[in-house]
Amino acid sequence: MSASEDDARFMQEAIRLGLLHLGQTSTNPSVGCVIVRDRQIVGRGVTAVGGRPHAEPQALAEAGELARGAIAYVTLEPCSHHGKTPPCAEALIACGVGRVVISVTDPDPRVSGRGIAMLRDAGIEVEAGVLEDEGKRSLAAYLTRQTKNRPYVTLKLAISADGMIGKKGEGQIAITGPAARADVQKLRAETDAILVGIGTAIADDPLLTVRTPGLEIRSPIRIVLDEELSLPLDSKLVATAKQVPLIVVATEPPRFDESEDKTFLARRVALDQAGVEVVQCNSNRPDELLPALASRGISSLIVEGGARTAKLFLDAGYVDRILLYQGPAVIGQGGIESPVTKTDMPSGFLHRRTVTFRDDRLDEYEREL
């Protein structure tokens, strides 16, 4: 059903509001809500930082008496369960809202259609599926964890004009300029966790935190795939583990002899003391790792490199979105080729948008949710 122009316009505003708290409400989705009376917005709400209160009661509180007979636009089906807060569907009914317009139905088994049923039983007109694709994209992390039991995975790559992500034997090299790097900081602030392989952790010695003033309160959980626990204790990652969480994913050490076991154990103890959480997995295959991350409440993950780690996730089919930042520099001889380029994109990825930052450009590709 095609939405009326008004419905689309107000839902657009609800989606915009929802995006404001992206990454700050986990494990709850960041939902947006507007209350409209006589084609005027009289109340706005977004799920509060930390996940509660939900969007609807805040929008209703702002609307006050004007909510009676008004239309509520919500990006996600209002909840019907008595969780940590009373059901939003009940609040909408109690305030006398006349019509509720929803973008996406809630896959949470405690809700899943019950919110809509409650509203309809109370005589409220309900329409669902308005701007659904856009709504789904705004709730992608939440929907992916709920329906696929894994985080939504973004592969972020910074590539040179000749398609390289770095140079052999060199650590971190600047491929993009400050404006594109600021965009990456915003991406980190919106995401629950960020992952690199041990090769990148050693070669680049990155911090993987958010350092932009105003955003720095919210760094993602940092994760290193480190089969044999070889992350240096004096790396920046380990040195900051008491301030920003760091998870090191190890796989079973090869048990050739007892001394190897002992080194592994000693490293484990040292990392432990430095505040690092060591998680032991049977393998670092995404199909094993990702559900383990989801069960810790991680709904969104950025894979930042290097090429081997990127390929691990791409080949296993667990990348939902690719962000290609491309700078004008040419690396040439000794360059490390990017696992994907604009002309060599894995099938199933649709081009979503292009953004330019002075000399750099970002191309975003996404799979259907």
- Structure-token pair, residue 255: 């048990």
Question: Is residue 246 within 8 Å of 222, Cβ to Cβ?
Answer: yes
- Of the pair 22, 293, the CB lying nearest ligand AOF is at 22
Residues that bind Zn ion (CB under 5 A): 54, 79, 88
- Structure-token pair, residue 230: 């070889």
Burial of 92 (0-12, 13-18, 19+ CB in 10 A): buried
204 is in an annotated binding site: yes
3-state secondary structure of 264: helix
- Of the pair 12, 299, the CB lying nearest ligand AOF is at 299
79 is in an annotated binding site: yes
203 interacts with, out of ligand AOF, Zn ion, none, CB within 5 to 8 A per kind: none
133 is in an annotated binding site: no
| Distant-in-sequence, close-in-space partners of 216: CB < 8 Å, separation ≥ 6 | 209, 210
Residues that bind ligand AOF (CB under 6 A): 28-29, 31, 47, 51-52, 54-56, 76, 78-79, 83-85, 88, 106, 108, 111
95 is in an annotated binding site: no
204 interacts with, out of Zn ion, ligand AOF, none, CB within 5 to 8 A per kind: none
Rounded to a whole number of angstroms, the minimum distance from the CB of residue 44 to ligand AOF is: 12
- Of the pair 52, 351, the CB lying nearest ligand AOF is at 52
Rounded to a whole number of angstroms, the minimum distance from the CB of residue 123 to ligand AOF is: 20
Rounded to a whole number of angstroms, the minimum distance from the CB of residue 302 to ligand AOF is: 22
281 is in an annotated binding site: no
CB atoms closer than 10 angstroms to residue 224: 27
Rounded to a whole number of angstroms, the minimum distance from the CB of residue 87 to ligand AOF is: 8
55 interacts with, out of ligand AOF, Zn ion, none, CB within 5 to 8 A per kind: ligand AOF
* Cα(143)–Cα(278) distance, integer angstroms: 28
Rounded to a whole number of angstroms, the minimum distance from the CB of residue 60 to ligand AOF is: 11
82 is in an annotated binding site: no
Tell me the residue number closest to ligand AOF, measured at CB: 83
- Helix then strand then coil, in percent of the chain rounded to 5, is 30, 25, 45
Q: Tell the residue number behind the tokens 């040179």, with chain if given.
A: 160
- Of the pair 54, 321, the CB lying nearest Zn ion is at 54
51 interacts with, out of Zn ion, ligand AOF, none, CB within 5 to 8 A per kind: ligand AOF
* Cα(56)–Cα(52) distance, integer angstroms: 11
33 is in an annotated binding site: no
Question: Is residue 192 within 8 Å of 220, Cβ to Cβ?
Answer: yes
- Of the pair 83, 177, the CB lying nearest ligand AOF is at 83
Q: 226 in the Ramachandran plot: left (φ > 0), alpha (ψ -120 to 50) or beta?
A: beta
The per-type count for the chain, helices as H runs and strands as E runs, is 12, 16
Report residue 60: phi and psi, to 5°: -65, -40
Cite the active site residues.
56
* Cα(189)–Cα(184) distance, integer angstroms: 9
255 is in an annotated binding site: no
222 interacts with, out of Zn ion, ligand AOF, none, CB within 5 to 8 A per kind: none
Question: Is residue 348 within 8 Å of 340, Cβ to Cβ?
Answer: no
Reference 311, options 280, 287, 338, 293; nearest CA is 338
DSSP category for residue 363: E
47 interacts with, out of ligand AOF, Zn ion, none, CB within 5 to 8 A per kind: ligand AOF
- Of the pair 116, 322, the CB lying nearest ligand AOF is at 116
Question: Is residue 302 within 8 Å of 188, Cβ to Cβ?
Answer: yes
Rounded to a whole number of angstroms, the minimum distance from the CB of residue 140 to ligand AOF is: 14
Residues in binding site for substrate:
188, 208, 211, 304
Residues in binding site:
54, 79, 88, 158, 188, 200, 204, 208, 211, 304
Residues in binding site for NADP(+):
158, 200, 204
